[in-house]
Amino acid sequence: MSLLNVPATPFHYPFAPGKTALVIIDMQRDFVEPGGFGASLGNDVTLLHTTIAPIASLLAAWRARGWPIVHTREAHKADLSDCPPAKRLRGAPSLRIGDAGPMGRLLIRGEAGTSIIPALAPQVGELVIDKPGKGMFWSTGLHDMLKAQGVTHLVFTGVTTEVCVQTSMREANDRGYDCLIVEDATESYFPEFKAAALAMIAAQGAIVGWHTPSATLLGALAPA
């Protein structure tokens, strides 16, 4: 299948139709709703809400074409055996991972807070990955799942830009995927960190990957 040239920074992104998975990082209640993990760290979760509509548009475009989709959740086993003490004990949050909050135990698989927000809920046939780390490849088996589907390119969305999204994109780049991050479909609790993350990803001739707005990407796709 021939590649599409998507206008992007720092130069055109070679998009592979059907071989490019849409990756939606951690759009779970814990990061975007009050009372979750993001809020426990002292963050204003409303800053992330602008991502929802662009991600929904991309999700609809991928679904219409039957292309691969990956949803991730940052979520630990109930016994915390996959949560290093260094992660759980870091800093002075109002609640720690595993503590009970208004949406259940923070960042624990199956709790209300770890569920993906209804507007972006996964459908049957889409990969849903519970990841114990910030990156989506660590301890998940995802690389083998993507290889089995013939995926060579990844389009990144979700939260937060400089934490789980950037970590996952760097892991993906090292595994040989061509990676694009969608500017308006990712957000940080710190706007200056988002700007810096996008700049450092695309610097030095796309050292980690490319970035572009969702409208530019959607405009470059052939009709479904």
Binding residues vs ligand TIU (CB under 6 A): 26, 31, 41, 74, 134, 159-160, 163-164, 189
Beta bridge partners of 153: 20, 178
Q: Residue 47 has which token pair?
A: 């800053």
| C-beta closer to ligand TIU: residue 14 or 98 | 98
| C-beta closer to ligand TIU: residue 4 or 41 | 41
Burial class (CB in 10 A: 0-12, 13-18, 19+), 220: middle
178 is catalytic: no
First to last CA, the chain: 15
Q: Of these residues, 19, 30, 130, 131, which one is catalytic?
A: 131
| C-beta closer to ligand TIU: residue 121 or 224 | 121
Q: Residue 169 in contact with residue 194, Cβ under 8 Å?
A: no
Q: How many residues in total does the chain contain? A: 224
For residue 150, the minimal CB distance to ligand TIU (Å) is: 27
Which residue reads 């990956």 in tokens?
70
194 is catalytic: no
Q: For residues 122 and 55, give the distance between their C-alpha atoms in angstroms, rounded to a whole number.
A: 12
DSSP annotation of 3:
P
87 is catalytic: no
Q: Which residue is nearest to ligand TIU (CB)?
A: 164
For residue 222, the minimal CB distance to ligand TIU (Å) is: 32
| C-beta closer to ligand TIU: residue 105 or 134 | 134
Q: Of these residues, 83, 164, 178, 179, which one is catalytic?
A: 164
| Residues carrying an active site annotation | 26, 131, 164
